């Protein structure tokens, strides 16, 4: 059931939503003589940068709303059911009659690395006009996820939403996905309206045209971002603003199963820290702990997390 728009939300997550079909383990794909390759596991799960953050934050006890697009099909019903089961507000979920729900085949190697085969579907029809402004006004944090895979929202549309959020005193945050068409400059209008920008090192390199992470962060600050968090995978993350620079090491894990959604889980944990008004270092460490839970299981959203479990891992609580 959709919640009333008068309710206050901790976060409004805007952007990419898709169904992930995970296949593991995959060593290589060869279109040779063999027409079948045996794998140990296939699984259907939710995916998409914004939806992953929404679901993980809901499991971390946040009140969440989601704005995005799905198709009028079985996959769309599945994603809306996942959101409904967690109490996520779906007032701003557009149901497209002309496009299918986005989907991704996720090929996962023995070491947990992955390759996506992606069909954008309804994500490519989502626009800024689909965002319910009443929900935005009643949300403390406005987060955009999946930039570069939302062609009718990216650029001026995203910037308009972020500007509206900042004018209303909201915390604004954004993450992007890999830009497959090379139009990295499309994010530029949004940067001046971001309190927090959280790209991967490789994404930041292409956006800024800089080689070293600290130089990338400096350039993003010059472009208008207030706080930059550059995610560096197994190396941790670099955090920089006008007053300080520091690094956060990753939380050690026993074994990596699947890195799908590691960055999204970090974002969810970090934004949870912002919700609690923690300082930057504490929020980043909580994000690292949330990511550690994610990479030890299949799929983008760790199902075994809750707020207290992640807190214990992050801060060695008994």
Superfamily of domain 9-28+39-313: Ribokinase (3.40.1190.20)
> Which of 201, 259, 197 shows the shortest CA–CA distance to 229?
197
* pLDDT tens string 217-271: 999 999 999 999 999 998 999 999 999 999 999 888 867 877 877 899 999 999 9
Quote the pLDDT of residue 33.
Answer: 64
Closest C-alpha among 221, 271, 309, 258 to residue 110 = 258
CB atoms within 10 A of CB 98: 8
Instruction: Return the pLDDT at 6.
Output: 46
The SS3 assignment for 54 reads helix
What's the rounded Cα separation, in Å, for the pair 47 and 117?
A: 13
DSSP string for 228-271: EEEE-GGG-EEEEESS-EEEEPPPP-S-----TTHHHHHHHHHH
Q: State which residues of the chain have pLDDT below 50.
A: 1-6, 318
Tell the residue number behind the tokens 């914004």, with chain if given.
50
Neighbours of 90 (CB within 10 A): 21
Domain spans, the chain = 9-28+39-313
3-state SS class at 308: helix
- Starting at the earlier edge strand, list the strands of the sheet with 89-96: 89-96, 64-71, 9-15, 139-147, 171-176, 196-197, 227-231, 237-241, 245-248
pTM of the complete model beyond 0.75: yes
| pLDDT tens per residue, range 88-115 | 999 999 999 999 999 999 898 887 777 8
């Amino acid at each position: 059931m959709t919640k009333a728009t008068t309710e206050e939300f901790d976060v409004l997550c805007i952007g990419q939503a898709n169904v992930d079909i995970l296949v593991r383990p995959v060593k290589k794909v060869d279109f040779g003589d063999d027409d079948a390759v045996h794998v140990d596991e296939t699984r259907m799960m939710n995916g998409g940068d914004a939806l992953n953050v929404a679901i993980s934050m809901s499991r971390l006890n946040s009140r969440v709303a989601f704005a995005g697009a799905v198709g009028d099909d079985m996959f769309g019903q599945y994603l809306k059911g996942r959101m409904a089961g967690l109490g996520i507000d779906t007032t701003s979920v557009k149901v497209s009659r002309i496009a299918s729900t986005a989907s991704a085949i996720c090929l996962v190697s023995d070491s947990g690395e992955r390759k996506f085969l992606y069909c954008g579907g309804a994500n490519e029809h989502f626009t800024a006009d689909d965002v319910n402004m009443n929900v935005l006004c009643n949300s403390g944090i406005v987060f955009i996820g999946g930039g570069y895979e939302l062609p009718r929202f990216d650029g001026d549309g995203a910037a308009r939403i972020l500007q509206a959020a900042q004018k209303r005193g909201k915390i604004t945050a954004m993450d992007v996905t890999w830009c497959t068409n090379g139009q990295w400059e499309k994010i530029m209008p949004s940067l001046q309206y971001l309190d927090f920008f959280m790209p991967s090192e490789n994404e930041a390199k292409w956006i800024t045209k800089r080689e070293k992470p600290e130089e990338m962060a400096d350039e993003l600050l010059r472009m208008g971002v207030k706080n930059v968090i550059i995610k560096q995978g197994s190396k941790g993350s670099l955090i920089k603003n006008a007053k300080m620079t520091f690094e956060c090491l990753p939380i050690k894990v026993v074994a990596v199963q699947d890195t799908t959604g590691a960055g999204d889980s970090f974002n969810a944990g970090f934004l949870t820290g912002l919700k609690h008004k923690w300082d930057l270092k504490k929020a980043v460490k909580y994000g690292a702990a949330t990511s550690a839970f994610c990479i030890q299981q299949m799929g983008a959203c760790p199902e075994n997390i809750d707020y207290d479990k992640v807190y214990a891992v992050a801060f060695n609580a008994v």
